Chain A
Amino acid sequence: MPNKSLAKSEMRTLVDILFVTLVVSLSFTPFICPRGWDGYAPENLASFEYRGETYHIRYSDETIGTDKPHIFFLEGWPVKSLVDMVEFSDYQSYVNGLNLHDDFVSQGRLTDDGLTVSYSDGGLQLTKLIKVTEEGVVVTYESDQPIELRLSLWRYYFSSVDGSDYKGILQPLKVETKETLRFEFKDGNRAYRGAIKLSDGPLNVKVWRDSDGLNKILIDYVGSRLSIKIALEGANRSSLKIANKDLLYPLMSTVFGLVYLTVRKYAFTVKIRPDRTRH
Chain B
Amino acid sequence: MRSRLKYVLIGLGIRLILAPFFMHAWDLGTILEASRQFLNGQDVYGYVAERTYMLRQSTGLPLYHYGFAYLPQTLLIFAPFYRLYTLIFPFENALDLQAVEPVILYPQVYVFLLLIKMPVILADIAVIYLLSNREPKIGLFYALNPYVIFVTAVWGNFDPLVGLFLLASYLCFNERRTLSGFLYGLSLIKIYTIVLLPLFIARPIFSRREFTKFILGLSIASLPAMYYLFVAPNSFLDAMLFQGARPVNGMNMYHAVLSVQGILFQTAITRIATPIFATALLSLTHIVLRERLPTLNSLVMLMLAFLISAPVTNEQYLAALVPLALLSQRFDRKLCVFPLLFVAFNATYMYFAIPIFWTDAAFHNLYTVIRGAWMEATGPYSGYVRYFISLSFAFLAFRSLHSHFQPQIPPLSKHLEVTRTTSYTVTAGSPSFEVRKVE
Residues in A lying within 8 Å of B, measured CB to CB: 1-2, 5-6, 8-13, 16, 19, 22-23, 26-27, 29-30, 33-34, 38-41, 43-44, 46-47, 49, 107-111, 246, 248-250, 252-253, 256, 260, 264-265, 268-269, 271-275, 278
Given A5-B421, A46-B58, A268-B427, are A26 and B257 also a contact pair (CB < 8 Å)?
yes
Alpha-carbon separation in the docked complex, A109 to B63 (Å) = 12
Of B59, B61, B424, B429, which one neighbours A271 at CB under 8 angstroms? B424
Residues 310-328 of chain B, each 1 if its beta carbon lies under 8 Å from chain A, else 0? 0000000000000000000
Given A39-B61, A109-B59, A253-B256, are A278 and B428 also a contact pair (CB < 8 Å)?
no
Of B253, B384, B388, B432, which one neighbours A22 at CB under 8 angstroms? B253
Alpha-carbon separation in the docked complex, A47 to B260 (Å) = 13
Q: Does B269 contact A (CB under 8 A)?
A: yes
Nearest B residue to A250, CB-CB: B256
Alpha-carbon separation in the docked complex, A173 to B430 (Å) = 78
Give the contacts of B395-412 with A (CB-CB under 8 A). Answer: 395, 398-399, 402, 405
Alpha-carbon separation in the docked complex, A38 to B259 (Å) = 14
> How distant is B246 from chain A, measured CB to nearest CB, in Å?
13
Nearest B residue to A248, CB-CB: B384
Q: A residues within 8 A CB of B7?
A: none
Of B100, B260, B431, which one neighbours A30 at CB under 8 angstroms? B260
Alpha-carbon separation in the docked complex, A248 to B256 (Å) = 10
Given A26-B254, A274-B420, are A13 and B59 also a contact pair (CB < 8 Å)?
no
Alpha-carbon separation in the docked complex, A249 to B381 (Å) = 12
Given A10-B428, A46-B61, A252-B384, are A30 and B257 also a contact pair (CB < 8 Å)?
yes
Alpha-carbon separation in the docked complex, A88 to B261 (Å) = 22
> How distant is A189 from chain B, measured CB to nearest CB, in Å?
23
9 tightest Cβ-Cβ pairs between the two chains A and B: A9-B429, A38-B262, A110-B60, A272-B424, A5-B432, A249-B256, A46-B59, A5-B423, A109-B60
Nearest A residue to B273, CB-CB: A26
13 CB < 8 A contacts A-B: A5-B431, A10-B428, A26-B253, A26-B254, A30-B256, A40-B63, A40-B263, A47-B261, A108-B59, A110-B59, A110-B61, A256-B392, A274-B424
Alpha-carbon separation in the docked complex, A108 to B395 (Å) = 41
Q: Does B358 contact A (CB under 8 A)?
A: no
Q: B residues within 8 A CB of A265?
A: 427-428
Q: Does B363 contact A (CB under 8 A)?
A: no
Residues 360-394 of chain B, each 1 if its beta carbon lies under 8 Å from chain A, else 0? 00000000000000000000000010011001101
Q: A residues within 8 A CB of B432?
A: 1, 5, 8
Q: Does B413 contact A (CB under 8 A)?
A: no
Nearest A residue to B100, CB-CB: A43
Q: Does B422 contact A (CB under 8 A)?
A: yes
Contact between A6 and B426, CB atoms less than 8 A apart: yes
Contact between B395 and A33, CB atoms less than 8 A apart: no
Alpha-carbon separation in the docked complex, A44 to B53 (Å) = 12
Nearest B residue to A274, CB-CB: B420
Alpha-carbon separation in the docked complex, A33 to B265 (Å) = 7
Nearest A residue to B381, CB-CB: A248
Q: B residues within 8 A CB of A1?
A: 421, 423, 432, 434
Nearest B residue to A50, CB-CB: B262
Contact between A6 and B429, CB atoms less than 8 A apart: yes
Contact between A12 and B405, CB atoms less than 8 A apart: yes
Nearest A residue to B388, CB-CB: A252
> How distant is A41 from chain B, measured CB to nearest CB, in Å?
5
Of A23, A108, A248, A264, which one neighbours B391 at CB under 8 angstroms? A23
Of A10, A256, A271, which one neighbours B395 at CB under 8 angstroms? A256
Contact between B261 and A49, CB atoms less than 8 A apart: yes
Residues 247-281 of chain B, each 1 if its beta carbon lies under 8 Å from chain A, else 0? 00000011011011111111011001000100000
Give the contacts of B158-206 with A (CB-CB under 8 A). Answer: none
Alpha-carbon separation in the docked complex, A19 to B397 (Å) = 12
Contact between A29 and B269, CB atoms less than 8 A apart: yes
Alpha-carbon separation in the docked complex, A49 to B260 (Å) = 10
Contact between B428 and A269, CB atoms less than 8 A apart: yes
> How distant is A250 from chain B, measured CB to nearest CB, in Å?
8
Q: Does B417 contact A (CB under 8 A)?
A: yes
Q: A residues within 8 A CB of B36?
A: none
Contact between B384 and A33, CB atoms less than 8 A apart: no
Q: Does B122 contact A (CB under 8 A)?
A: no
Alpha-carbon separation in the docked complex, A256 to B65 (Å) = 35
Contact between B261 and A253, CB atoms less than 8 A apart: no
User: Given known contacts A249-B256, A268-B427, A268-B430, what 4 new A-B pairs fall within 8 Å (CB)?
Assistant: A1-B423, A5-B429, A9-B428, A274-B419
Contact between B259 and A249, CB atoms less than 8 A apart: yes
Q: A residues within 8 A CB of B259?
A: 30, 246, 249
Contact between A41 and B262, CB atoms less than 8 A apart: no
Alpha-carbon separation in the docked complex, A109 to B60 (Å) = 5
Alpha-carbon separation in the docked complex, A2 to B421 (Å) = 7
Contact between A252 and B427, CB atoms less than 8 A apart: no
Nearest A residue to B308, CB-CB: A19
Alpha-carbon separation in the docked complex, A278 to B419 (Å) = 9
Q: A residues within 8 A CB of B431?
A: 5, 272
Q: Does B55 contact A (CB under 8 A)?
A: yes
Q: B residues within 8 A CB of A246?
A: 259
